[in-house]
Amino acid sequence: SAVISQKPSRDICQRGTSLTIQCQVDSQVTMMFWYRQQPGQSLTLIATANQGSEATYESGFVIDKFPISRPNLTFSTLTVSNMSPEDSSIYLCSVMIGRIYGYTFGSGTRLTVV
């Protein structure tokens, strides 16, 4: 399975600012996935990031709020823009190496907006 390095692991940010989260994978993958986990909740898919094309966003998530970059097959960033306290969540990146192997997740970024 893949190993994902995600950073920062946590941050406390001021309302109205932006935070960029980085994920580095130790192998080349076609798709990377970004999830949000609100307090006490399950994971919600934000978007799927393919290298060389625009990310595909799920219903309720827009590019202006969550811009994603995918410059190569091992790296992606998610930016949480113009933050409000409602954005306080854990954000996770994920890859799938093969269908039967399941998904591998980064360790998550715990974001608190004050």
Partner 1 sequence: GDSVTQMEGPVTLSEEAFLTINCTYTATGYPSLFWYVQYPGEGLQLLLKATKADDKGSNKGFEATYRKETTSFHLEKGSVQVSDSAVYFCALQDDKIIFGKGTRLHILP
Candidate ranges 14-22, 62-70, 76-84, 94-102; the one touching partner 1 (CB under 8 A): 94-102
Which one of residues 77, 79, 97, 108 is an interface residue with partner 1 (CB under 8 A)? 108
Q: With CB under 8 A, what is the number of residues at the site for partner 1?
A: 20
Q: In Å, how far are 6, 36, 52, 54, 91 from 109, measured between CA atoms?
A: 7, 10, 25, 23, 5
Q: Which amino acid is at 43?
A: L
- Three-point CA angle 61, 32, 102, nearest 5°: 110
Write the binding mask 10 to 39 for partner 1: x where contact by CB under 8 A, - elsewhere: ------------------------------
42 contributes a contact to partner 1 by CB under 8 A: yes
Which one of residues 2, 43, 73, 97 is an interface residue with partner 1 (CB under 8 A)? 43
96 contributes a contact to partner 1 by CB under 8 A: yes
110 contributes a contact to partner 1 by CB under 8 A: yes
67: left (phi over 0), alpha (psi -120 to 50) or beta: beta
- Three-point CA angle 72, 8, 89, nearest 5°: 105
The residue ranges that bind partner 1 (CB under 8 A) are 1, 6, 41-43, 45, 90, 92, 96, 99-108, 110
